[in-house]
Amino acid sequence: MTSNIPEVVILRLPLYARVLRGLADRGEDVVSSQRLGDLLHSTPAQIRKDLSYFGRFGKQGRGYRVDHLLRELRQIMGLERQWSVILVGVGQLGKAILTYGGFAPQGFHVVAAFDSDQSLVGTSVGSLTVQASGELAETVKQHQPQLAIVAVPGHACQSVVDMVVRAGIKGILNYAPHQAQVPEGVWVRDIDPVGALQSITYYLKPNGS
């Protein structure tokens, strides 16, 4: 049931979950594909098509049950369990990531942090002690984290990603301004603030639509 689903649909699922959570928090029980489309800046037809990949959630003309759909989507996305994450790069951005309160409530727990800067190794950030990058492979072997967040400068990105992949990690969130190459079966998502700004400026030009 969950094979051959286009990646672009998978990429939209977190947004569905976020919007449904908002509806649930406001006490709404049922939502139409029209309303979901409005909230997701998409068409009702697209919403119905996306959700049809995962089974039959809606009843014709009655909309979707918010709590049911949210629970099912979270199950499908693997969000009903806890995930262990390592962080590589404890500069200003890495520190912001470690003190960001948004990960843990969603089941993502940063369990170790690494930096190649010896002056940072051994220092405490939040509840973690920064480890040397050389210890990464051994720590991954011991604690089996599933995900890595990479917050290093662009020039260091590929070698850090290579190290993380060699250690056996299959999912990487990359904050570095560099598109890392990874082997088949490893998933990378880029945090790309410049790209995000660039996708706005098109609309702000005098001749933008």
Residues 6+ apart with CB under 8 A from 161: 150, 172, 174, 180, 181, 182, 188
Strand partners of residue 59: 63
The region of 56-64, 116-124, 133-141, 194-202 touching its own copies under the rule CB under 8 A is: 194-202
Interaction residues for its own copies, span 110-129 (CB under 8 A): none
Q: How many C-beta atoms lie closer than 10 Å to residue 13's C-beta?
A: 19
Interaction residues for its own copies, span 53-72 (CB under 8 A): none
Which residue, 57 or 108, has its beta carbon nearer to its own copies? Answer: 108
What tokens does 109 get? 């727990």
Closest separation between CB of residue 84 and its own copies, Å?
11
In 3D, which of 87, 112, 84, 88 has the Cα closest to residue 160?
88
x/- site string to its own copies, residues 15 to 44, per CB under 8 A?
Answer: x-xxx--x------------------x---
The region of 10-18, 28-36, 63-71, 135-143 touching its own copies under the rule CB under 8 A is: 10-18
